[in-house]
Amino acid sequence: MSTEPADRSAQASASNSSPEANPALALIGDLFQKIIGPFAATSVSNLLEEPGNIEERIQLLLDTFNRHPGLIPPFQKLIKSINAQETETPLEEQIRFYQTKHTRNWLIVNLFNQVLNVKELKLDESSGRLPGKPQDLLKYSHQAQIAFGEESRYKDLAFAAGLMFDFIFYLQRTPLLDLGQTKFDEPINQAFTKSIEQGKTIIKLSRHKSKLTLEKLTPVTAFLRQLSQISLMVLRPAQAPEFYKKLATLKHTEMIRVAFEMKTFGVHTGIIGAYLGQSLSLFDPVGEAMSVWSAPYLTWISGHKDVHDLSGIGELGVELTERLKLSDFGASGRANVGLPELEYLDFALNAGVLK
């Protein structure tokens, strides 16, 4: 019996699943190869959730130094240059002197640059000094933490989300993205500013939702959505910037925007946000919430009501800051008025939400 038809079918299937034949598959491949993979290679994830106890913070930093012993001598030279009178002291005491916050930032900058190798972050090994203060070199993580409160319950999440902006800011200067002279500094700045604005609005909305078990994670959805769009820009620089410039002039619902993204790129920001969210355990389960971005009712139907609320309130915050006003929701003030995908959100919009 001839197997030719089956062989042809298999060949066609293999062809359709190749990156060359499937733009969406190629884009996801680039996302992992050029953004998620390099970020994971920095090994900074252990430093993103800062312990409350000072001794635990110091031990975390000591463990990081022990995993990267090449960073110990320049750090010791840095401390010596700051405190010339210092006698030989243990690494633990040097961390205390420099403070755990500054030490963490110094480590992150150097771990970043072991992967990125950009002059803006280059360490002077003879002195242990960086081109600028570590917190200034990691400006997005620093600003995000300040914006949401350096001692707030959101501080670690804001720091981590901001750090992803820092990483992609420097990543665009490397051959990994091969952007040449094209840079996206201003779009990155704008996306970060919008993330802060939307994240704060989402927190306000969260206070009016009963039994919101994942409230702490809600502002992360805004960051991941913006990071997703920036990721598309740097991965598809010839196409995505003009696409989003045009889309910004249209007052489409998020569901329609997602449909346009799917038609243009084969994926949408929710899919990219899901992968970005899953790259850090600190963000669990925001990745799952992003995977149903613009269609949160799917998680309600599946029984994951906490994830539904996380995704739905994130989308509502985006809609309120980009497209809608409170008056658009009518006298009832219900979230699902005009937004049927938010059918199962059980609270009414409060008049003070946007103040």
pLDDT at residue number 334 = 80
Query: What 8-state DSSP symbol labels residue 124?
Result: B
pLDDT at residue number 57 = 96
* pLDDT of 10 higher than 70: no
CA distance 239 to 237: 6
Local confidence band at 330 (pLDDT 50, 70, 90 cut-offs): confident
What percent of the chain is predicted at pLDDT more than 90?
Answer: 76
Q: What share of the chain is helix, strand, coil (3-state, %, to 5)?
A: 65, 0, 35
Which is higher by pLDDT, 23 or 283?
283
pLDDT at residue number 26 = 94
Q: Apex CA 271: angle with CA 176 and CA 171, to 5°? A: 20
* pLDDT of 174 higher than 50: yes
Give the DSSP per-residue string, 249-312: TS---HHHHHHHHHHHHSS-HHHHHHHHHHT-GGGTTHHHHHHTTT-THHHHHTT-HHHHHHHH
Model pLDDT for residues 67-121, shown as the tens digit of each residue: 999 999 999 999 998 887 666 789 999 999 999 999 999 999 999 999 999 999 9
pLDDT at residue number 8 = 47
Q: From residue 245, give the alpha-carbon distance in Å to each of 160, 165, 222, 241, 263.
A: 27, 20, 19, 6, 16
3-state secondary structure 204-267: HHHCCCCCCCCHHHHHHHHHHHHHHHHHHHHHCCCCHHHHHHHHCCCCCCHHHHHHHHHHHHCC
pLDDT at residue number 350 = 60
Q: What is the mean pLDDT of residues 188-193?
A: 98
pLDDT at residue number 16 = 54
pLDDT at residue number 331 = 73
**What mean pLDDT is reported for the chain?**
90
Local confidence band at 332 (pLDDT 50, 70, 90 cut-offs): confident
pTM tops 0.85: yes
